[in-house]
Amino acid sequence: MSDLDKSATTLVVRSTCKLTYEGILMMLNKICEGTAYDYVYLPWHKLAVVNFTSPEACQAAHRTLTRLSTMDTSGVRYVKQAVVQGLAENLAIFLAKSGYDAIFDPGAPRVFVLGTSFPLSSAVNVYTSLLWTSSESKTIVVL
């Protein structure tokens, strides 16, 4: 099992089969509480980016998903720590790569607040403005 940084909140999950939002959310709800994650994005058919609400929730999900990856029938190929960490940071990367209009696409990320779906346009306005006004914000370089 690969180690996670103690502060990690975002995982990349690679699947052996095509993922859907319905399917990945069902899996996440089975392995952790619905309030344990706040961002789910499927940038490719077999890849999910999931941000958890705490490092502890991320570590617990990582342990479970890593165990699942050893079972041929689970559909999980591997799980690892994402390069970009945090809800606001992942929203900012999505916007930088895809543009604002992409938030209205059916394949756009899903955001949750206390387990309830939250409109992406509202999340972008709230969380990215917090990122840019934070004194601890980091420069994000998109290659």
Q: According to the model, what pLDDT value does residue 126 have?
A: 81
Q: Report the C-alpha gap between 33 and 27 in whole angstroms.
A: 11
Q: What pLDDT, in 10s, does the model give residues 67-76?
A: 999 888 888 9
Structure-block tokens of residue 72: 């041929």
pLDDT for the residue numbered 137:
46
d(CA 142, CA 6): 24
- In terms of DSSP bridges, do strands 76-81 and 37-44 run parallel, antiparallel, or are they unpaired? unpaired
Q: Which residue has the higher pLDDT, 121 or 139?
A: 121
Residue-wise pLDDT for 76-121, tens only, equals 999 999 999 999 999 999 999 999 999 999 999 999 999 899 999 9
Residue 29: what pLDDT? 94
Average pLDDT score, the chain: 87
pLDDT at residue 141 above 60? no
Could you tell me if 99 and 66 are in contact, meaning their C-beta atoms sit under 8 angstroms apart? no
Mind spelling out the 3-state secondary structure of 47-103? EEEEEECCHHHHHHHHHHHHHHHCCCCCCEEEEEECCCCCHHHHHHHHHHHHCHHHH
- What is the pLDDT at residue 59? 96
Is the pLDDT confidence value at 45 over 60? yes
